[in-house]
Structure formats: structure tokens, C-alpha cells
Amino acid sequence: MSELKVLVTAGAGGIGRAIAEAFSATGALVAVCDIDVEGLKQLERELPDLMTVQCDVADVSSVERMIDQVTEQLGGLDVLINNAGIAGVTAPAGELCLRDWEKVLRVNLTGTFDVTRCALPYLKAAGSGAIVNMSSVAGRFGYPNRIAYSTTKWGLIGFTKTLAIELGEFNITVNAILPGAVDGPRFQSVLEGRAKVSGRTVDEETQAALASQSIKRLVDPRHIADLAVFLASDSGRSISGQMLPIDCDMQHTS
């Protein structure tokens, strides 16, 4: 693992940061991009061995510059973690404006495509690589009042399956991780959005979310990171085109 060159998008916080930390702990060379400049500065202070690059994945020119910088500094690329995504507003489909719909698609789907497209020549040149796309339980179930988000996460499933078929001949594996309710600020904001729509308290929304799980707790981001590291390791080389839920056995969204 020590020679792996890894790029994590949206890695300044949350799941992305946990993944970057996990790869770095193995001795891999890790680059993190994010739109959050302050988050990147904090990451630089706390983990100075990581390379950081400001990037807006919704801007193709920003993506192209970022890939050029990362591959030049790392000396290539072996692993791409497509973690960048936004939740969008919480609202019924009939009340969602076109601008808000397109904003989510631009980041979650088109942004992921742009990063992957730009990274592919380097992954192919490596002779053996791995792509991990961050989908969601929303890519397995419907998601009330989050239609744009759910649509993009379902879209990443087709994206993953197709890439796995296309890239097999280059010895590149492609898989999707589907996290459930993950502990951290992002899920708290989701709960707050649900509470505004439903009129219930945030605590009531938390209990409602956990009610659909066999294991009644939030997912630890470190467990998602461990799965990503495994998929990129030698032990994961025979796994491709798969959708891997990590959600405490969630039965449905609420």
C-alpha cells in the first residue's frame, strides 16, 4: 500500500477526511481536493503529509487544473475516491425549483464524471487501479423530499457498473459504497432539514431514522474509510462492479 497514489475528492471533512486519513496511515501518498478552503487549511495544519488542492468539481476547468496538479506532484495516480457531493434542499418534488435540481446534478453526477474522465489516463497508465464512488442508501431506496439527491445517487450506480465493464481490461476495479446514516455534521443538517418539513423535533427525526435499522446507531465514518482502503488493496482486486451498503442494515429511508 505504501506506493499507492490516492486522490480523495471533498476530503477536507466528514467521510472524505476519514478516508484520506486511513489511506495516509497505510503509507500511501494522498492528495485531497475540496471547495472548502478553510477546511483544507485546517487539514494542512493537522496532517501536513497530505497534498491539498482547492477545487470546485462543478467547474470543469477547476477539475482539469486539479488533476494536473495532483498527478504531477504525486507522480501519477492509482486510486480515485469520488466522494464529492451535495445534499441539496429538502423539499417535495413539486416544490423543487429547476435551479436547485440542476445544482445537485452538476456536482454529484457531472462533477464525478469530470473528475473520473480527467483521471482515467493516469489510472490506465498505472496498470492497476481502483475507483470508489460514494453513493448512498438513497441509491438503493427512494428518499422522500430529496429527489435530486436520490436521483444522483441512483445514477452513480449505473456509472459504477458501466465503468467496471469498460475498465476491466485495464485492471481497474470500480465499486460504489452506499453509506447509511453517518455520524457527523452533515447528517445533523439532514435531520434539521427533515424536522423543518415534518414539524417534528430533531431528536424525533433521529429516532425515526434509526428505527429502520437493525443496528440502532449511526455509522462511524472510519468504517467507511476502512472499506475504501480494502477495496483499493491487493485483497480487493477481485471485487468490481459492486454496490456495498454500510448502513447498519437499513431497511428503508424515512
Catalytic residues: 149
What is the rounded CA–CA span in Å between residue 252 and residue 75? 43
Ordered strands of the 79-82 beta sheet: 51-54, 29-34, 5-9, 79-82, 129-134, 172-179, 243-246
What is the rounded CA–CA span in Å between residue 8 and residue 134? 11
Beta-carbon count within 10 A of 123 CB: 26
CA angle 86, 16, 25 (to 5 degrees): 180
What is the rounded CA–CA span in Å between residue 209 and residue 254? 6
